[in-house]
Amino acid sequence: MNRAWVTIFKRDILLALRRRSDVATTLFFFLIVASLFPLGIGPEPAVLSSIAPGVLWVAALLAGMLSLTRMFASDFSDGSLEQMLIAPQPLPMLVIAKVLAHWIVCGLPVVLLAPMIGLQYALPNDALLVLVLSLLLGTPALSLIGAIGAALTLGVRGSGLLIALLVLPLYIPVLIFGAGAVAASQHGMSPEAHLSLLAAFSLLSLVLAPFATAAALRISVE
Amino acid sequence: MNINWFKYSSPQTFYPLAGRMIPWFAWAASIFAVIGLYISFFIAPTDFQQGEAYRIIFVHVPAAWMSMFIYMVMAGWAALGLSLNARLPAMMAQALAPTGAIFTLLALVTGSFWGKPMWGAWWVWDARLTSELILLFLYLGFIALQSSIDDPRKADKAGALLALVGVVNVPIIYFSVKWWNTLHQGSTISMGAAPKMVTTMLLGMLLMALAFWMYTIAVALMRVRCIMLERERASDWVKEQALSVGGNT
């Protein structure tokens, strides 16, 4: 069990490292979307720092969503996904390995890049810290829930747009608590409640989403 | 007594049953709607704060109730279809989705008609409005997923799974939106603080809700009959059906 898990995890990381441009696209998308808002709204620091939590979180949400279609697509096309489905190891555990690898490749870089963009939005230091913390706690939930959408739209016409329609409504709680945590610390309130709820949501999706993803994979591949 | 619970679980036997049931529910919907509309427009008193414009709630509130209720029923059918691996429940879920989406849209549109004179704005980011909007997105996602998968059995299962994921998320979304709104600003108007409703108002609303309910059943049955014919077009009973209809004309 452990060996299969580690193998899949390592393999997915290795595959991503061999195709670095995929990782870079997600990151550049995040960077570009976040840079468009000041151009559209104007350079006043007061305005920018008040919209920063929402804008950065929405940009992170969209960047994470872009990379979702790749989560199972290559495994589906080369047949290794079928091997995972018939493997003796429980499929939800293997799904967790794949989702974790996806998060490290696509989610973590966004988390690390976010404070830099936060500086451009004139966020104060403690708000930057909360931004990183909230993204760190919230983005795993995005990958876990996104995996359900990715599995459901496997091999479907126009899956890229469809996945947005399926997954974005489910992302709303993460967006609310993530951006809420940053906004709370900006207003001098404690972000603890928001962060706790965010962590709770991530844990809940860690428990439930792999089972839904596994069921969706079985439906899509049958 | 020995009842065969699964007698009507096959499209072949359910098709004529649905056909017999549709007129009953359609008539019930019309009768309830006529009485309900009469009460809401002529008997229910004018609200002393909101004037005549409040009467939109006789359509708005039942539509909002139905939009949430239909999603639950749809997810229930979807779960049944997924767990029993049966065709008919999945078809029912598919047949209910458009009606649910229409009621959600109706609730949003009538809500903005009510909001303009009461709040002075067509749209307010109130918790209830926002979660109703998200419900519309969930319906649209379900319909979009089902229509983009060509194999109907696969579309059924994928849609069912999405509906179940949605049902788990609906309360989380509802409460997160509620907290989001209260953290930002106080609610502009709360239903709890509204003056107590007169009995005739409540009666009108309940009758309209019943009318919408019966309408939903009638329309869902009509739609499920179409879906059955379309999916089972290669089977004998559909051919017999087509021949018998053809023979009558």
| Dihedral sign of CA atoms B46, B48, B53, B57 in order | negative
Q: Do B168 and A220 touch (CB under 8 A)?
A: no
Amino acid identity for residue A193 in this structure: A
Q: What is the pLDDT of residues A63-107, one digit of tens each?
A: 988 888 888 988 888 888 988 898 888 999 999 999 999 999 989
User: Chain A residue with minimal CA distance to B83?
Assistant: A215
| Chain A residues 16-75 with CB within 8 Å of chain B | none
Closest by CA to B76, choosing from B59, B60, B100, is B100
For residues B106-121, average pLDDT:
85
Supply A176's token pair.
Answer: 């609310």
Q: What is the pLDDT of residues A159-183, one digit of tens each?
A: 888 999 999 999 999 999 999 899 8
Domain limits, chain A:
2-221
B223: pLDDT strictly greater than 60: yes
Residues of A in contact with B166 (CB under 8 A): 169-170
Q: b/e per residue, B57-93, with b = 16+ CB within 10 A?
A: bbbbbbbbbbbbbbbebbbbbbbbbbeeebbbbbbbb
Min mean pLDDT across A100-109, A202-211, B170-179, B192-201 is at B192-201
Tell me the pLDDT band of B44, cut-offs 50, 70 and 90.
confident
- Which of the two residues, B192 and B168, has the higher pLDDT score? B168
To test the contact with chain B by mutation, choose from A172, A185, A195 the residue with the greatest count of B C-beta atoms within 10 A, namely A172
Contact A101, A74 (CB under 8 A): no
Q: Do B144 and A162 touch (CB under 8 A)?
A: yes
User: Chain B residue with minimal CA distance to A214?
Assistant: B161
Least Cα separation, residue A162 to chain B (angstroms): 7
Tell me the pLDDT band of B144, cut-offs 50, 70 and 90.
very high
Q: Do B180 and A180 touch (CB under 8 A)?
A: yes
Residues of B in contact with A172 (CB under 8 A): 134, 173, 176-177
The predicted structure's pLDDT at residue B124? 79
**What's the burial of A23, exposed, middle or buried (CB within 10 Å: 0-12/13-18/19+)?**
middle
- Which of the two residues, B183 and B214, has the higher pLDDT score? B214
The values of phi and psi at residue B151, to 5°, are -70, 115
The predicted structure's pLDDT at residue A205? 93
The predicted structure's pLDDT at residue B193? 47
User: Chain B residue with minimal CA distance to A151?
Assistant: B158
- Among the partner residues A157, A172, A212, nearest to B134 by beta-carbon distance: A172
Alpha helices in A19-158 (DSSP H): 20-41, 45-66, 70-78, 80-86, 91-102, 108-120, 125-152
| Most confident listed range (A67-71, A212-216, B61-65) | A212-216
Residues of A in contact with B137 (CB under 8 A): 165, 168-169
Angle between helix A125-152 and A108-120 (nearest 10): 140
Q: b/e per residue, B208-219, with b = 16+ CB within 10 A?
A: bbbbbbbbbbbb
- Among the partner residues B138, B149, B168, nearest to A208 by beta-carbon distance: B168
B197: pLDDT strictly greater than 80: no
Q: What is the mean pLDDT of chain B?
A: 84
User: Beta-carbon neighbour count of residue A175 at 10 Å?
Assistant: 20
Q: Do A152 and B168 touch (CB under 8 A)?
A: no
Min mean pLDDT across A5-19, B51-65, B129-143, B188-202 is at B188-202
CA A192/CA B164 separation, integer angstroms: 31
Q: What ipTM describes this predicted complex?
A: 0.85
Tell me the pLDDT band of B247, cut-offs 50, 70 and 90.
low
Least Cα separation, residue A74 to chain B (angstroms): 19
The predicted structure's pLDDT at residue B221? 93
Closest by CA to A174, choosing from B233, B194, B180, is B180
To test the contact with chain B by mutation, choose from A154, A165, A168 the residue with the greatest count of B C-beta atoms within 10 A, namely A165
Q: Do A148 and B165 touch (CB under 8 A)?
A: yes
B→A interface, C-beta within 8 Å:
134, 137-138, 140-141, 144-145, 148-149, 154, 157-158, 161-162, 164-166, 168-169, 172-173, 176-177, 179-180, 183
| Chain A residues 177-206 with CB within 8 Å of chain B | 177, 180, 184, 197, 201
A222: pLDDT strictly greater than 90: no
The predicted structure's pLDDT at residue B182? 60
Contact A101, A84 (CB under 8 A): no
Domain limits, chain B:
28-186+195-244
